A and B are shown apart, each in its own frame.
Chain A
Amino acid sequence: MNLSLSDEQVFLREAARGALSRFKTLEAARDALDGNSEAMPDLWPTAREAGWPGLLIDESHGGAGLDAFDAMLVLGECGRVLAGVALLGHLPATTILNDAPNASTELLAALADGEQRAAYLPTRPPDESIGDDWSGDPRSGLARAPIAVAAASGEAGHVTVSGSFSFVPDAPGADVLVGVAMLDGQPVGVLVMSDASGVEVEEVSRYDATRSLGHVSLADAPGVVLDAPQSSLAGAWHLAQALIAAESLGSVETALEVTTAYAKERYTFGRAIGSYQAVKHSLTEVLRQLENGRSLLYYAGWSRVGAPAEFPLAANAARSVGSRALDQAARTMIAVHGGIGATWEHDAPLYFRRAQLSRRLLGGTAAASDRVAGELILKA
């Protein structure tokens, strides 16, 4: 039994914290919301320098060959300072390419180095507990995932891909797009160059300026079929859930630190507000959710290597808890700070905006909770 971080993992985390501390990411987030589109720092060179783009690519292809948990540690550090590093889109895409024996080694090397950047076109894998399939049922309501499946036609190897994807993380500026398409009724991995004919990426900014998003439209775009196994196509989706969970929990950490510090120094009726049970208990509730989320990141990290059949359960549970924890942390941050916490003067609204948008990306938090139920019902 050993769930402690290795020396290398501690170093990875500390190095990430150090590298990101050189940027005023929170100030930039506020400026960008004010309409200064140049305000957001380009953090990709920092990511390249640190070796993050190749975290999940095998060493034989020029990557670091590390595990999902290592990537979660980096995303957690990004979340701590609301840094917009394009890893949420890039890393899941690299896992599909890495698992495809026919993927170009030059491309993998360029992606590992960060010379080129990938974006993952999110497609929810089927939930066997309700008998749906890849092409199935665009579900509605709380469990909605407004995500299309691309359609391909043509000879295996070279195909054309059509479909549209909304709010794709890190799509603007990506060199390659990687996702899932139905080919002759079978799901396959596809790779499309973003400068190919029929590809349109419309940059969208929505509520949280730290998050780069794009609507991607493919109209008979030429692409390549990747012979990655279906487990890899599904795995990319679940990995994305775990990564956004880790990022959210990083934001919870700082929100809790800032709010706890304030509760110790702000006095009312002659005593620090943190001494009141009402305030103390709301902060311990954030801590409770944070600790639960951390435990689930360990579960996700361990299971992806040690028990792959449990990874969908673990990753979606982490997403379910992590997203709700960030909402709770942001609302508590605002409430404990009082009126100032709800103004532009304070950082709390930046965490709040991050929470509200993050919860609705990549299929949404409710869909992750639904998936947890599905995985448990399936094995019941």
Chain B
Amino acid sequence: MDLDDTPEQAAYRAQVRAWLNEHSPEAPILEGVDAISDEDELLSARRAWQGKLAEGGLAGVTWPKEYGGQGLGPIEQVICNQEIGKAHVPGILDAIGVGMLGPTIIAHGSDAQKSRYLGPMLHGDEVWCQLFSEPAAGSDLAAVQARARLNDDGSWRLSGQKVWTTNAQFASYGLLLARTDADVPKHKGLTMFIVPMDAPGVTVRGLRQISGEAEFNEVFFDDVALDGDAVVGGVGNGWGTALTTLMFERVTIGLGGEALGYNSDRFARAIAADEHARRDPEVRHKLGEIASELLAVRFTGYRTLTALQQGQIPGPEAGLAKVTIVNGAIKAGDLIADVLGPDALGPDSEWAYMISFLPGLKSAGGTEEILRNTVGERVLGLPPEPRLDKGIPFSELRSKEGSAA
């Protein structure tokens, strides 16, 4: 049992560190007095930095070499992330594209799509967004209603709405799950498309959250024209293609839990800074219980890495770490606000931001309830709940739901 690098991993780490030592001064500054404040300037600086990371081999670590990646494994990806964190420089701007959407195109896209889109994605020249969730299709993703209709000439017309779309406001392309056949059961009538975000009929609107900031968008599609070659993975195969993206999402979350910044050291520092709170038995008791669970997540991550190193893919149980992190952070925010009082909710307070962000995070990437269903069924082997949508054409299902409501 050890947490040490193998000689090969140590050599890779040294190589990454050497590159960062040389190039860190070129990285954009995101925090502190020297931080870039102009949003457009910041965006172009981060794009340029992603390009440098890609040239240095620090982006697309797990992508095959033929698409500009390094052809390495998830362990090397984690080592790379760790070193970028230690160097206090930003990581890549388009983590969603490079981490989830690019790998989906690599797995399901045509040769033409791979050669057209992957290079600019990797280098940050074209940022991507994920257009899956809708107002009425989140946990039940296969219920998407965005509708793509085939024209006689083989092109498509797309109408509908997506939501919770990170980076849509500056993305060049989106990977979009649409319904192309409503007369078959819902998982079967779906198709994945590449959508240019500057196409006529695409409208992006920021969606403000509890904090007041807009980190997500809603995106509207009004009769948007798409070429026939916009389809990824074949017409009617959208669900299988989406599952690939979700698998990469799980790997990303499973390996990046602590990257959210919700860790025991940070919360303990807030308590330790208060002369009374640090000696108060009730505060200590609560802090100890919260911190113990968050410490566990760190080692759950190491267990996941061990499994990856042995060639296993993280299973759905990785979702439980997300439940622990989110609920632990909610309790920690509550405790810290109790200790600091209303100051914790001040406009510049890191805690106000965290406290505002967490209720939404509880649902992000699958609600806690759906995660617990999946883990209960796939890990414990418990029977699924009876479903009313199996084998029923989507159009019929919709009219049933309508009349039931």
Residues of A within 8 A of B (CB): 1-4, 6, 69, 129-130, 139, 141-143, 256, 260, 263-264, 271-272, 274-277, 279-281, 283-285, 287-288, 291-296, 298-299, 301-302, 306, 313-314, 316-318, 320-321, 324, 366, 368-374, 376-377, 379-380
Contacts and interface: CB of A to CB of B under 8 A. Distances in A.
Given A264-B381, A298-B302, A275 B278 contact: no
Which are the 10 A-B pairs with shortest beta-carbon distances?
A: A369-B288, A376-B268, A380-B272, A292-B296, A295-B299, A280-B376, A274-B382, A372-B288, A373-B284, A317-B292
- Choose among B3, B75, B299, B379 the residue with the greatest number of A CB atoms under 10 Å from its CB: B299
A316 B284 CA distance: 13
Given A280-B377, A295-B298, 11 more contacts: A143-B285, A274-B383, A275-B385, A277-B372, A277-B373, A287-B380, A295-B299, A299-B298, A369-B284, A373-B285, A377-B284
Contact of A374 (B1, B284, B299): B284
29 contacts: A1-B5, A1-B302, A1-B305, A2-B2, A2-B306, A3-B306, A143-B285, A260-B382, A275-B385, A277-B372, A281-B376, A284-B379, A287-B320, A291-B300, A291-B317, A292-B296, A295-B302, A295-B303, A296-B292, A298-B1, A298-B303, A302-B1, A317-B292, A320-B289, A369-B284, A370-B288, A372-B291, A373-B283, A380-B271
A374 B264 CA distance: 12
Contact of A369 (B271, B292, B300, B309): B292
B287 interface: yes
Contacts of B376: 274, 280-281, 283-284
Interface in B103-122: none
A295 B288 contact: no
A263 B382 contact: yes
Given A1-B309, A260-B381, A275 B285 contact: no
Given A2-B306, A284-B372, A295-B297, A317 B265 contact: no
B3 A1 contact: yes
Contacts of A302: 1-3
Contact of B299 (A141, A256, A274, A298): A298
Interface of B: 1-5, 9, 75, 264-265, 268-269, 271-273, 278-279, 281, 283-285, 287-289, 291-293, 295-300, 302-303, 305-306, 309-310, 317, 320, 323-324, 369, 372-373, 375-377, 379-386
Nearest to B306: A3
Contact of A376 (B75, B287, B293, B375): B287
A283 B285 contact: no
B323 A141 contact: no
Nearest to A130: B279
Contact of B383 (A272, A294, A299, A371): A272
A326 B284 CA distance: 22
A321 B292 contact: yes
A318 B293 CA distance: 9
B340 to A, nearest CB: 15
B383 A271 contact: yes
B297 A292 contact: yes
A281 B372 contact: yes
A3 B299 contact: yes
A1 B288 CA distance: 27
A264 B369 CA distance: 19
B288 A371 contact: yes
A1 B385 contact: no
A276 B385 CA distance: 6
Contacts of A2: 1-2, 306, 309
B296 A1 contact: no
Contacts of A1: 2-5, 9, 75, 302, 305-306, 309
B378 to A, nearest CB: 11
A256 B381 CA distance: 12
A295 B383 contact: no
B303 A313 contact: no
Contacts of B272: 376-377, 380
A292 B293 contact: yes
A65 B300 CA distance: 27
A340 to B, nearest CB: 20
A314 B317 CA distance: 22
Contacts of A143: 281, 284-285
Contacts of B303: 3, 294-295, 298
Contacts of B297: 292, 295
Nearest to A366: B285
Given A292-B297, A298-B303, A275 B382 contact: yes
